[in-house]
Amino acid sequence: MPRIVITGAGAICALGHDVPSIWQAMVEGRTGIGPIRRIERSLLRNGGIAAEVSDFDPALHFDSARLPLLDPLSQYALVAAGEAIAQSGISFEGERAARTAIVIGTGAGGESTRDEQYERLYREGANRLHPLGIVRMMTNAPASQISMVHGITGPAFSVSSACASSNHAFAQAVMMIRSGLVDTAVVGGTEACITLGSLRVWEAMRVLAPDTCRPFSAGRRGIVLGEGAGMYVLETLELAQQRGATILAELAGCGMSSDAGDIAAPSELGASAAISAALRDAGMSPSEVDYINAHGTGTMANDSTETRAIHRVFGEHAHALAISSTKPMHGHALGAAGALELVAVLGALRDGVVPPTLGYLGPDPACDLDYVPNQARAMPVHAGISNSFAFGGLNAVVALRRAP
């Protein structure tokens, strides 16, 4: 099978509008979580906090003809994809356009457009809604917009599996490249879920933290929503070497599983099956892994279950692993979570720095591993994995090695 490498990375989230800014914030342990600014505080019933993308002016990125077609879901995806493609230096002219896939993960779709249209319909009693509402809110809009902006004519589609969407998208892209269907893929995830409607349904589940996100910590009280996008250029090692591209890392393996259990409660067996499958696919032994970017949502159930899954797969080596969740910095971006968290894995592999788990107050007996609390750690990282475990019992894990 051809080896798959990453040659371009782009991202936007509450920590910054590009990968260098986001990675620097992660290393410094800065958080993008704060009071929600775009929704009237009196309408919110919980802590009223989230990790919003700030200081973002769409008019600086998109012309007046395209902007009405773009929900923030697609805006974030296009900004991140543009950065990744520019860094990769790849051209989609000629045959390359048809030999490139686009696979984009998203859990919710165009929530801002949906909220706006439903407010007009139900509050204002409008008889007609905006004619571009469907093309703004549909989950495939980001993939379609990227294809049109960059002239990519190969397979383009979206993957939706809640919080595992991005990692499932990576797996789909890897399989298409390995099969020979395409040579290159633009792949990642995007989410723009900080809307009144979205926040209200998350409040109803009673999983939103009122103060901040504290994964694996004593006193943790739940998740904090985030938004943004992460996009990457994948290609075969052979193609990357032929065109002299800078290789950021090898995407060595992917693992997927389904719990076939509870729609909301996580499963140690399902999570560990996906981790083991990713290691097998990558040809890695558990002892080769130095760093895990954990799903680490900050809920009581997720963090203890993920800890048990790591113990199950890694045995004694589990205590030698550096494990961190970056969600206290960029929030839980649902379908974009895995794509944003890949910034942390790439940075750790390249720079030998593991970002911290912020908000850590002290150990929980159910979470007994090394979670790199509160401060980044300098250490060599040769291989790492990134976990994503979703409602519905859908699990996806990716394994990466340092650039060959």
Same domain? For 200 and 226 the reply is yes
Phi, psi (degrees; rounded to nearest 5) at 132:
-100, 10
Q: What is the end-to-end Cα distance of the chain in Å, rounded? A: 16
Q: Evaluate if residue 389 carries a pLDDT over 90.
A: yes
Specify the CATH number for the domain of residue 180: 3.40.47.10
Same domain? For 78 and 13 the reply is yes
pLDDT digits (tens, 9 = 90+) for 354-368: 999 999 999 999 999
Q: Which of 242, 276, 306 is the last residue of a domain?
A: 242
Residue 248 within a domain: no
pLDDT digits (tens, 9 = 90+) for 225-239: 999 999 999 999 999
Rounded to an integer, the average pLDDT of 28-56 is 92
Residue 126 within a domain: yes
Same domain? For 89 and 155 the reply is yes
pLDDT at 123: 86
Same domain? For 77 and 222 the reply is yes
Amino acid code (one letter) for 389: F
Per-residue pLDDT band for 43 (boundaries 50, 70, 90) equals confident
Q: Evaluate if residue 1 carries a pLDDT over 90.
A: no
Percent of the chain with pLDDT over 90: 95
DSSP letter string over 103-149? Answer: EEE-SS--HHHHHHHHIIIIIS--SS--TTHHHHHSTTHHHHHHHHH
Residue 17 within a domain: yes
Q: In total, how many domains does the chain have?
A: 2
Q: Is 295 a catalytic residue?
A: yes
pLDDT digits (tens, 9 = 90+) for 274-311: 999 999 999 999 999 999 999 999 999 999 999 999 99
Residue 122 within a domain: yes
Q: Which of 221, 242, 263 is the last residue of a domain?
A: 242
Per-residue pLDDT band for 45 (boundaries 50, 70, 90) equals confident
Same domain? For 283 and 316 the reply is yes
Residue 10 within a domain: yes
Same domain? For 225 and 271 the reply is no
Residue 199 within a domain: yes
Q: Which of 214, 242, 270 is the last residue of a domain?
A: 242
Rounded to an integer, the average pLDDT of 201-223 is 95
pLDDT digits (tens, 9 = 90+) for 78-134: 999 999 999 999 999 999 999 999 999 999 999 999 999 998 999 899 888 989 999
Write down how long the chain is.
404
Amino acid code (one letter) for 273: A
Q: Evaluate if residue 320 carries a pLDDT over 80.
A: yes
Q: Evaluate if residue 47 carries a pLDDT over 80.
A: no
Cβ atoms < 10 Å from Cβ of 79: 25
Among the options 213, 295, 330, 367, which is catalytic?
295
Residue 172 within a domain: yes
Among the options 163, 193, 213, 367, which is catalytic?
163
Same domain? For 178 and 298 the reply is no
Average pLDDT of the chain? 97
Same domain? For 340 and 203 the reply is no
Rounded to an integer, the average pLDDT of 169-180 is 98
Q: Evaluate if residue 41 carries a pLDDT over 90.
A: no
Rounded to an integer, the average pLDDT of 172-185 is 98
For residue 195, which of 161, 230, 159, 227 has the smallest C-alpha distance? 227
Q: Evaluate if residue 46 carries a pLDDT over 80.
A: no
Same domain? For 213 and 262 the reply is no
Name the pTM for this structure. 0.97
Domain boundaries, position 381: 254-402
| Whole-number Å distance between alpha carbons of 294 and 386 | 6
Same domain? For 324 and 193 the reply is no
Which residue is listed with tokens 């789909």? Answer: 172
Residue 249 within a domain: no
Lowest mean pLDDT segment, chosen from 35-44, 242-251, 360-369, 379-388 = 35-44
Pairing status of strand 394-402 against strand 383-390? antiparallel
For residue 143, which of 72, 77, 212 has the smallest C-alpha distance? 77
Q: How many CA atoms lie within 13 A of 215 on its CB side?
A: 30
Q: Is 332 a catalytic residue?
A: yes
DSSP letter string over 265-295? Answer: S--HHHHHHHHHHHHHHHT--GGG--EEE--
Rounded to an integer, the average pLDDT of 136-153 is 98
Rounded to an integer, the average pLDDT of 25-38 is 97
Q: Give the tokens for residue 287.
A: 């002892």
Q: Evaluate if residue 155 carries a pLDDT over 80.
A: yes
Reduced to 3 states, what is the DSSP secondary structure of residue 23?
Answer: helix
| Whole-number Å distance between alpha carbons of 333 and 336 | 5
pLDDT at 88: 98
Cross-strand bridge partners of residue 383: 401
Lowest mean pLDDT segment, chosen from 38-42, 72-76, 135-139, 155-159 = 38-42
Among the options 193, 254, 332, 367, which is catalytic?
332
Same domain? For 172 and 290 the reply is no
Q: Radius of gyration over alpha carbons of the chain, in Å? A: 20
Q: Evaluate if residue 375 carries a pLDDT over 90.
A: yes
DSSP single-letter state for residue 246: P
Same domain? For 9 and 148 the reply is yes
